[in-house]
Each structure stands twice: as structure tokens, then as C-alpha cells.
Structure 1
């Protein structure tokens, strides 16, 4: 993975002028917003959820110190416009139920990678689709991205369905490319182009 690069220069020719640390995206049921230090306990609940972490490349988190450290790194990175990580807050009860990210920015190719996840007790309600639509719309319209990629464990059927529902196409399969819970596993590669996203939105 390339080192993080500031998106300022890459977005200079677009409409984007907002600092990433100030981004909030509203949907019917969700608020996507930067994480705050007081979210640490909620973030720990997400990263210590066995189902959420089933296909992750790190062990279950067991300390709130880990979440404080992640949030502090994010605060600095987003203030510098290096990456976007937003908490997914359910409007009805203000519960933090997941996260979504845009990272690995390639300013020459106008591309980025998307990451996402929900705590398991929020699955099956369409929250992830709702959040991804908002994040991708921001990426394509405000950041002038041309391509967004995703890299998932091919055993993660729910994640694959989320990507395909939103318009991503499977583009490749890497054998034994990473380690999940101490086991070598493959990676499934997906991509979504700006033209494809616009076509999906016109049909919606």
C-alpha cells in the first residue's frame, strides 16, 4: 500500500474545499460523522464483536486504549486530509453501529479504496447500503473520484452482496494474499467506476 498522501492537491481542481474533519453525511436513518474520543467505548464494542471481526486481519480488540489510539490517529489524518473514516450513527437512538472509510488515495488516477463494517446486531436492516451510497456519492461528486476499489475475504458473502448491490464488479482473485485469524486466505477484488455509479444512480 502506498504511503498516505494528502488529498488537498488532488482535489484542487474539484468543488471540494471542506476539511475531512468537518464532513458529515446525512441519510434518512443515519449520520456519518468523524469519530470523537468519547466514541471509544462504542468503537471497542464494534472491534470486539466476533462476527464483525470474523474476516479481519487483526485479533479481536480487548482494550479501550486501542480505540483511543485509532481515533486520535484519525483525528490527525482527517485534519490533514489524508483519509476519511466516518462513524455510522443511527439517528433514532444516536448509537454508533459501524464505520466506513475512503483511503489509499491515488491522486494521479483519481482512485481510492473503500472499507466498511457494522456491528452484528445492526445487520439485516439495510444500514450498510445506506451508508455506502452516501459515502460513494460524496467520493464521486465532491472528490471527483473516477474509481473506487474494495478488497474483501471471498468467504464474506454478506460483504460481496453489499458491493454487488451497489454496482461493484468483481475484477480479480488473489490466492493466499493475507492472513485472517492466523490462516492464509484469498482476497476478492472489486471495482466501481464513476460512469457505472452515475448509471446506477440514474436508475435508482
Structure 2
């Protein structure tokens, strides 16, 4: 793997800068990932310590280094503080597909920030990462995330029963997908 392939892209939207998350962001990460409502569908227990946040940041760095994913910190242009994250994981280059994930600090909910951030990474994923298919796996009770991906053109394909074991229980997940040609037509 070349040094260039590990360069971290910075994405800019009208209100946001999506950037690499570093250990300096651990307090921000801890702040919103310790919130039970934010973590309700995240697949992990709410964070309790700065080490929990540092472990999460380490995971973000490892998926990028191993080319299995990329996770951007969501920041408001005027503040620069990480208020959430979004990105791709489980990248499958052979099949030109990946999964998307995102979360946002509760104080930023219902302001259109998540839609703006996710739209930016979808565009980057299709244009620069050469994805044909981007998937979103969402728990059935997580209506806000379902509405978000549907607003961006994702199609619900079906229910994956007992697909994940997280936080001591099996979770059903809806499988959503967005194809490059569908995104191009939005």
C-alpha cells in the first residue's frame, strides 16, 4: 500500500468539514458516545471513559490503514469540534460495495447535519472510491436513520433476522442499498 492510498481526504459542505479523527478528539467523542440515546442503535454500550473513546479512534485509524473502511469526524465549520462521525466499513473491493455508518451528537439532531454529511460521503464513495453499491444496515426501531437513508435514495431490500449480536442480544436489521446509478439520478 502506498503512502498516497493512506492520505485522508477532507470533505467540505456548506456547513461542515469532514476530517480525520485524532486522539485530540477523544473528549468530544466521549461526550456524545456516552449518551444512551445516541448509542441506542450503535451496537456498543455507552462509553464511560476516555479510554473507550481512544479505543474507538484507534478502530477508525485501523480500518483506514487496512483499507477496510474510512470514518470522518463531522465538524461545524465555525467550531472544528467533532460532533459526530460517518463513514464506510466492511469495504469489499472485489464486489465494489461497502456499508455506511453514522451518528451525531444529540444537540445536533434535526438540523439536517447528518443528511448533509452522509450525502457528502456518498458522493465521495461513488466518485472517488469507485463503489457500485453502498449498504445501510438499520435496526427496525431506528426510524430516524431509516428516514435519513430513504431521503437520500436508499431502497429497503429486506429484513436480516438476528443478523447481529450486540450488547447481549440478537438484533434484526433492515438491509438498505443505494446503487451508483440511483445516486447519480437524485
Pairwise same-fold verdict (TM > 0.5): yes
1:2-40 CA distance string (max 9 Å, x none): xxxx8x8xxxxxxxx953542100001000001011000
Equivalences for residues 136-155 of structure 1 within 5 A: 136-155=122-141
1:195 to 175, 181, 186: 181
1:173 to 136, 139, 159: 159
What is the rounded CA distance, in whole Å, between the counterparts of 2:175 and 2:38 in structure 1? 20
Indicate yes or no: 2:115 matched with 1:124.
no
Indicate yes or no: 2:22 matched with 1:36.
yes
8 Å contact from structure 1 (residues 100, 117) kept in 2: yes
Length, aligned pairs only: 186
Aligned to 2:46: 60
Indicate yes or no: 2:78 matched with 1:92.
yes
Return the offset for 1:108.
Answer: 1.6
Indicate yes or no: 2:14 matched with 1:48.
no
Query: Which sections of structure 2, spanning at least 5 residues, go unmatched?
Result: none
8 Å contact from structure 1 (residues 89, 97) kept in 2: yes
Q: Larger relative CO (CA 8 A, sep 6+): 1 or 2?
A: 1
RMSD: 1.9
Return the offset for 1:119.
Answer: 1.0
1:67-116 CA distance string (max 9 Å, x none): 11222333343244332011001112223111001111111210011000
1:35-86 CA distance string (max 9 Å, x none): 0110000011121111111122221110111211222333343244332011
Return the offset for 1:195.
Answer: 0.5
Indicate yes or no: 2:88 matched with 1:107.
no
What is the rounded CA distance, in whole Å, between the counterparts of 1:130 and 1:78 in structure 2? 22
8 Å contact from structure 1 (residues 56, 181) kept in 2: no
What is the rounded CA distance, in whole Å, between the counterparts of 1:34 and 1:195 in structure 2? 28
**Secondary structure class of the residue paired with 2:185:** helix
Q: 4+ runs of 1 displaced by more than 6 Å? A: none
TM-score, normalised to structure 1, is 0.84
TM-score, normalised to structure 2, is 0.92
Equivalences for residues 11-22 of structure 1 within 5 A: 18-22=4-8
8 Å contact from structure 1 (residues 170, 188) kept in 2: yes
